[in-house]
């Protein structure tokens, strides 16, 4: 079973992520975003970068994290496949990310990570987040 679900939204694509830990939410959201962009199964973890973001809460931090990854993809052409959260608090994340330039074609161009209907909450089972991408 996939750790995330896609849902349709007018001119947008949204994801809902459920995980045992907040760290896993960030990892699975990043994986989902790149799965939307292209087939990540053929991406090799050749290039490593460190991502650092700060925000005023997990929800804003998630948007900043995904936005920085999308920026790295847009500017450097790197599709990330593996993620390791080194530090996480409600106000900051530091993570290592591995990926490569895709050989396959792009399935969907994501223009931006939005705040529209953004959610990040603790549940009895762990955590749940919802993010919408502008495509």
**What are the structural domain ranges in the chain?**
4-134
- Report the C-alpha gap between 135 and 125 in whole angstroms: 31
Residue 123 pLDDT > 70, yes or no? yes
pTM of the model: 0.91
- Report the C-alpha gap between 92 and 11 in whole angstroms: 30
Residue 97 pLDDT > 90, yes or no? yes
CA dihedral 52, 37, 120, 62 (to 10 degrees): 10
Sheet containing 79-89: give its strands across. Answer: 47-54, 92-100, 79-89
Can you give the pLDDT at residue 103? 79
Handedness of CA 20, 16, 80, 115 (dihedral sign): negative
Fold for 4-134, please state it.
Archease, Possible Chaperone; Chain: A; domain 1 (3.55.10)
Can you give the pLDDT at residue 9? 58
- Secondary structure element (H or E) that encloses residue 66, with its range: helix 58-76
In order of 26, 38, 40, 51, 120, the CA distances from 102 in angstroms are 22, 8, 8, 20, 30
Q: What percent of the chain has pLDDT over 70?
A: 99
Residue 87 pLDDT > 80, yes or no? yes
Say which residues have a Cβ less than 8 Å from residue 38's Cβ, sequence separation at least 6: 79, 102, 104, 105, 106, 107
Can you give the pLDDT at residue 102? 86
Q: Average pLDDT, stretch 91-103?
A: 96
């Amino acid at each position: 079973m996939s750790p995330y679900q896609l849902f349709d939204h007018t001119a947008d694509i949204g994801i809902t992520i459920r995980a045992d830990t907040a760290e896993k939410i960030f990892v699975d959201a990043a994986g989902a975003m790149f799965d939307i962009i292209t087939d990540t199964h053929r991406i090799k973890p050749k290039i490593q970068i460190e991502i650092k973001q700060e925000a005023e809460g997990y929800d804003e931090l998630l948007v900043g994290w995904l936005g920085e990854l999308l920026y790295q993809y847009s500017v450097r052409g790197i599709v990330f496949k593996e993620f390791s959260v080194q530090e996480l608090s409600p106000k900051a994340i530091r993570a290592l990310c591995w990926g490569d330039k895709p050989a396959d074609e792009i399935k969907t161009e994501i223009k931006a990570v939005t705040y529209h209907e953004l959610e990040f909450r603790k549940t009895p089972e762990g955590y749940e987040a919802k993010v919408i991408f502008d495509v």
